[in-house]
Amino acid sequence: MADGGSRARSKDAFFTKSRGIPVAPEFATALTIDFSGAKNANSAANTASVSTSVKTHLQARRDLGAVNHGYLFVDLSAEKVSSALKATATRAGLEKSMYSSHSLKSGDATALKAGRVDSLSIKLLGRWVPHCYEE
């Protein structure tokens, strides 16, 4: 993002241990992303604790063969997501034909509504105009 783009680049993110010393992801206690080129950046870099979800994200990148991808968050097609979901359903002993990327979208809307997120936000996040998820 240091180039003013809207996507975080892999080279703008680095893992650190105590006192900001760079380390491999498996030994990290923090992740720092340089947002200095972003239009809405409040500071040069933001640091957050390394959570299980960050480590899971990195494992998913390895599984997708996107370790050397230029951007931190890899673009995924609906087909790739659907394929991964069907494979997961099969491993869980479920009928894969019952699952698709749409399952995630409707499930997300349901979870957001249960979490008392306002209707307009859900519509914007899901790119929905009708009230179909509210009924």
Domain ranges of the chain: 10-63, 78-134
pLDDT at 37 over 70: no
Q: Quickly list DSSP for 50-107.
A: --HHHHHHHHHHHHTT-TT-SBSS----HHHHHHHHHHHHHHTT--GGG--HHHHHHH
Residue predicted with more confidence, 115 or 35: 115
Model confidence at 60: pLDDT above 90: no
pTM above 0.85, yes or no: no
Indicate the Cα dihedral angle 20, 37, 124, 119, nearest 10°.
50
pLDDT tens column, 67-110? 777 676 667 677 888 888 899 899 999 999 998 877 777 777 78
